[in-house]
Structure 1
Amino acid sequence: MKINQFIFIFLLVLAGFLSLKMVFGLFTSAASNNGNNFIASDSFPTKTPTPTVPITNTPTPPAQSSSPLLINEVYLLGDFKDEWVEIYNPSSSPVSVNGYRIEDDNGYDTLPDVSIPAGGYGIIKGNDSSDVIVPPPAVAIEVTNAKIGSNGFTNAGDKVVLRDETNALVDQMSYGTNTEVFSGLTPPTISGNTLARNPNGIDTGSVTDWQIRTASIGVTNP
């Protein structure tokens, strides 16, 4: 019995000793950690920024119509009642201009329901252009205003634009001081002369397609 008590007391003392050693070890470790010195760096590596690519806003070109029609000749001299625009249909089928627009640099007129025959011509003129005689088989395309566009064509410089019923670009030209389409196209100064495509119906998109010619309304340009 005494031996068992002795063993029990011995184990109890041993357990207490081990517990004290563990606690002492924790304090010792904490004390040693408190002695560590940490030095913060006063300089840091600089991150090189990723270069950005500039965004360029490119103007969107006007939608191009599938219509085959061409502005073929423009008479711009004299009184506005004398002005006219010849439209040429080089295709093998008639083309209606219903809802099309004819524009100058300040406004436009909507065209009526008129069909230009295959290989033929349509003459756009104001509603007070009694002096503009359209020879058959060419067809007259009369706008509702006395002047074509906003105020008729300016002799010194203007533009002529044809758009289809969806407002898509069909054809355009400019002359004189207006260089929106062409630069260097000199307007005529002698009555009876026009700006015309030469040869008739040529369309390379260049100012060289156009020349000053004797008016040839409703027929092939000479």
Structure 2
Amino acid sequence: MNFKNVSLKFFIGLLSLVLFAFSAMASYLVLDVAQFDPYQVRSRFAEPGSLPKAFIVQSGSMEPAVKTGSIVITRKAETYNQGEIISYKKDAKNVITHRIQVKNYPDGINSDPVYLTAGDANEDFDSGSITNDQIVGKVALTLPYLGYVANFAKQPYGFLLLVIVPATIVIYEELKGLLKEIFKTLSILKRRLFDRKSHTLKYSLQGTTLKAKNGGLHKATAIVPIFGAALVFAGLASSFFSDKETSQGNVFQASTWGSPTPTPTVQPGDIVINEVYYDVDADHVQPPGSDENTFEWVEIYNKSAQTVNLKDWKIEDNSGTQRTISTSNRNLASGQFAILAKAANVFVLWTIPDSAEKIQLGEIIGNGLANGGDRVVLRDSLGNIIDQMSYGTDVSVLNPSSSDVAEGHSLERVPDGFDNDLGSDFFDTNPPTPGS
């Protein structure tokens, strides 16, 4: 190997090394320091809807149709139909890939449709309907698991490995071929210029090519950095698991984090026994002939200014038999009524406002409220008596007690919550008014 060839290879190698180091450092600084966002760059250079778009699916709510980590290719369509998988914008940044479950025309067949979507693995629809303006496109192609590679390519190190390094190798090979051609041409020029036998300058300049030559890279290798760059510009599409459960009787609140707020102390009289229905008429025993104790109910009322949790509270009669109101959190808001009865079939026999809580005890109240006289006692979770009353022949709480009422009537505080610890606080009410 002569000195000329050694110098040429050293020069090319040094130049390629410098080029790679510069590209790698510049790319890392751009991605890491400038917080490069491929999705924003892509949206800036492409007209909306002009080109197919690629998104990475980040969860398994569309399985088995679309695996987690897949890349979906979407394209705009004139119409979208039930059963098709689409990608749509939930907000300015988030794109969701789910299936159309329902297509409606709320304003008539000639109006724009609205869609209800859901993931194949979800039990419920996504929250809210979507319109054509929100749809990015219909999924035309799914590339399983390629999204994991794309996510890696979006990181600084991944970008270096999948884009910069392959591109530098291709540039190195092409630069080597180019310099060889330049040196070859210069050598021809030198011989022609100093050839004394001829005054005619003849030379040829051959262009460079990506064709494999003298052990160089094949032109197909250029696809490697191009593919890596394409992965970088793949967007992110969410697909999420969802399910809806109803939690009745709970009040959820949000506040700034701080020291735990102690549970408000409930004082006697904060929650009162507001109405008692103990002498059940035939119209409210269904089916006829059933045990009338099953259809008794007691209304309680929160007259305090705070929400009270009824968990582990109890109600009892003069037999001392206690029934637990709720074994889980069950809140009663300020000014709210709650109806306590054995089962839900009691509530359907009455017109009860939606604002009132309907609590099933699972058992009759005490051992059954006696028609001639009994008492009702309300206890908190610690067993403290919060309120109590007695009627008819039972004078254990109120003496004189509240008057006994006729079948189908109830005893009710008038006005609601009025409490002087007297039998006269309760009035004969017909018809009864549960929940109001």
1:91 Cα deviation from its structure 2 partner: 2.0
Distance in 1 between residues matched to 2:277 and 2:417, nearest whole Å: 16
Matched with 2:406 is: 189
- 8 Å contact 2:318–2:375 — kept in the other structure? yes
Matched with 2:77 is: none
**CA-to-aligned-CA distance 1:54-85 (integer Å, 9 cap, x gap):** xxxxxxxxxx9625101000000121122111
SS of equivalent to 1:208:
helix
Q: Residue 69 in 1 paired to residue 279 in 2?
A: no
Distance in 1 between residues matched to 2:305 and 2:298, nearest whole Å: 21
- 8 Å contact 1:195–1:211 — kept in the other structure? yes
Counterpart pick for 1:158 among 374, 397, 407: 374
Matched with 1:100 is: 313
- 8 Å contact 2:391–2:423 — kept in the other structure? no
1:42-121 pair list within 5 angstroms = 66=267, 68-78=270-280, 79-106=292-319, 107-112=321-326, 113-121=329-337
Moved over 4 A (4+): none
- 8 Å contact 2:388–2:397 — kept in the other structure? yes
Q: Residue 180 in 1 paired to residue 396 in 2?
A: yes
Identify if the C-alpha distance between structure 1 residues 114 and 154 changes in structure 2 by more than 3 Å, giving closer, same or farther: same
Ranges in structure 1 where 5+ consecutive residues have no aligned partner: 1-63
Distance in 1 between residues matched to 2:294 and 2:344, nearest whole Å: 6
Look up the equivalent residue of 2:384 and give its one-letter code.
Answer: A
SS of equivalent to 2:420:
coil
SS of equivalent to 1:187:
coil
Look up the equivalent residue of 2:406 and give its one-letter code.
Answer: T
Q: How many residues align?
A: 153
Look up the equivalent residue of 2:273 and give its one-letter code.
Answer: I
Distance in 2 between residues matched to 1:206 and 1:132, nearest whole Å: 31
Identify if the C-alpha distance between structure 1 residues 169 and 65 changes in structure 2 by more than 3 Å, giving closer, same or farther: farther
1:21-36 pair list within 5 angstroms = none
Relative contact order higher in (CA < 8 Å, ≥ 6 apart): 1
SS of equivalent to 1:87:
strand
Identify if the C-alpha distance between structure 1 residues 124 and 196 changes in structure 2 by more than 3 Å, giving closer, same or farther: same
**Alignment TM-score, normalising by the size of structure 1:** 0.64
Ranges in structure 2 where 5+ consecutive residues have no aligned partner: 1-264, 281-291
- 8 Å contact 2:390–2:401 — kept in the other structure? no
1:143 Cα deviation from its structure 2 partner: 0.7
- 8 Å contact 2:403–2:423 — kept in the other structure? no
Counterpart pick for 1:199 among 400, 407, 415: 415
Identify if the C-alpha distance between structure 1 residues 96 and 132 changes in structure 2 by more than 3 Å, giving closer, same or farther: farther
- 8 Å contact 2:374–2:393 — kept in the other structure? yes
- 8 Å contact 1:72–1:196 — kept in the other structure? yes
Q: Residue 148 in 1 paired to residue 350 in 2?
A: no
**Alignment TM-score, normalising by the size of structure 2:** 0.34
- 8 Å contact 1:101–1:163 — kept in the other structure? yes
Percent of residue pairs bearing the same amino acid type: 33
| Structure having the larger proportion of residues in helix | 2
Matched with 2:426 is: 210
